[in-house]
Amino acid sequence: MEFENTIGLETHVQLKTRTKMFCSCLLKTGCEPNTNVCPVCLGYPGALPVMNREAVKLTVMSGLALGCEISSHATFDRKNYFYPDMAKDYQISENANPLCIGGGVEISLKDGRKKFIRINHIHLEEDAAKINHYASVSGVDFNRGGTPLMEIVSEPDMASADEAVAYLAALREILVYTGVSDCNLEEGNMRSDVNISIRPAGQAALGTKVEIKNMNSFSGIHAALEYEARRQRECMAHSVPIVQETRRWDAEALETASMRTKENAHDYRYFPEPDLVPVEIPREEVEKWRALLPEPPEKRRARMVEEYGIAGYDAEVLSQHKENADYFEAAAKGLDKKTAKSLCNLFMSDVMALVNSTGKTVGECAMSPAALASLVRLAAGGTINGPTLKELLPEIFEKGGDPAAIVKERGLGAVSDMSALEAMVDEAIAANPKSVADWKAGKKAAAGFFVGQVMKLSKGKADPKIVGTLVAKKLEAAG
């Protein structure tokens, strides 16, 4: 019998706020354990939570970016469970009335097709503390406890590990672009509980769901889903019942292992949080937050291709990081398409190489977008040649400055007088009769030697392409 996968994801995303969800403790990474804590996030009896307004705003903006309907009335609930990572024995979350309903993400499949993955809802909650395990003891670090999280719950619309990873990548791009989260997987800013079941192909009813908890890498999620899909098919082939349970992914053994039977909502004994009033969001406030949303990445890519004449691949790479796309567009403003393409080529190669080698983003470097545009204009107009541009770029990236003024001050302008260039070519040929003989003997690479000699004579100011043409012409005449 042929089976098909049904996959849904519950993705927890840490919001980019300054303080925790229900107290004023700062959110900082790398601090000594239990230093950013207070009676609220430590769960002391009688300590009252105060809602973080910024967390609500960022969750609503996420919902708007993902096409959700925003609830005008949202409420918090207590999710009750006993575990060392939650000292008060309950987590404040949204269960009955979440902030965002519906929406979805469009993904691109490997065969070129598009698929829409629906979102059921997005709710806001606090994160648990972090348990660190040592050789013989375990410790609880409450610095993470109370971190604002939004949980994005998809519908079971994915049919493969590839689709699940494509969904997460598209989701991450939108959230980072919107500025609501860094979505840094290594730091746990984005992690997913993965739900998978199998059913006979064409059957409407879903199979028995298995959950794989706390996955924080795309490669791990892909491997876990591939394994679990095989495991469930093997169970069916050998008439072994699939039970609803929570499993963990063993990255070393490359297999899932059972943790516990899966809890249902009633097991958590949800009830309304008595210490927090409902969240009432006026429509005008929602529209104000909607106005803060950036242009969606997909639309921006299409516009950049049309507006600047750059390749679709380049637009895709540029738009993956909003800071890079913003910088490029600021530099490209006012350039014709031919010059904008040159700018794009320089940005994608040399500028990004400087970003990687220096560790500075384009926003942190000293070179303004206007300075980069000026460099490209100087080269496009023939004022400087390619080698001079490449020589100046790292300096301006590190120190800033006006390229046109630097070129004028240092006398770096390109030698464009054809008679002067011809005289240099004649001088190089006259001074190197052996290389002329080599060229005549069929060693055509000797022409490159003469180009190099002329570049030396011009102190690097000549255009290598023009010099190459002149060298070829003079050698042909001499041959």
Across 155-224, the runs of DSSP E, i.e. the strands, are: 190-200, 210-215
pTM of the model: 0.82
What residue type is assigned to position 218 of the chain?
F
Helix (H, G, I), strand (E, B) or coil at 432: coil
pLDDT in tens, 407-430: 888 877 655 556 666 777 777 777
pLDDT digits (tens, 9 = 90+) for 247-256: 999 999 999 9
Mean pLDDT to the nearest integer, 192-200: 96
- Domain ranges, ordered by start, for the chain: 3-288, 297-410, 418-478
Residue with tokens 């993400």: 105
Work out the average pLDDT over 314-340: 94
Q: Is the pLDDT of residue 293 over 80?
A: yes
- Binned at pLDDT 50, 70 and 90, residue 263 comes out as low
Q: Which residue has the tokens 């924080």?
A: 216
Let me know: does 339 contact 376? Beta carbons within 8 Å: yes
- Express as a percent the part of the chain with pLDDT over 70: 92
∠ Cα 341 345 347 (to 5°): 110
pLDDT at 304: 96
Confidence of residue 441 (pLDDT cuts 50, 70, 90): low
Q: 433: which 2 tokens?
A: 């009769």
Determine the average pLDDT of the residues in 59-69. Answer: 98
Q: What is the pLDDT confidence band of residue 13, given thresholds at 50, 70 and 90?
A: very high
- Among 16-25, 153-162, 337-346, 384-393, which stretch is predicted with the lowest mean pLDDT? 384-393
Structural domain 418-478, CATH architecture: Orthogonal Bundle (1.10)
User: Does 457 have pLDDT greater than 80?
Assistant: no
Q: How far is CA 64 from CA 57, 58, 272, in A?
A: 11, 10, 26
Nearest CA-CA partner of 427 in 386, 375, 462, 400: 462
Over residues 58-80, the mean pLDDT reads: 97
pLDDT of residue 317: 92
From CA 141, how far away is CA 322, in angstroms rounded? 33
For residue 477, what pLDDT band results from cuts at 50, 70 and 90? low
Q: Which residue would you say has higher pLDDT here, 155 or 404? A: 155
- Give the pLDDT confidence score for residue 110 in this predicted structure: 87
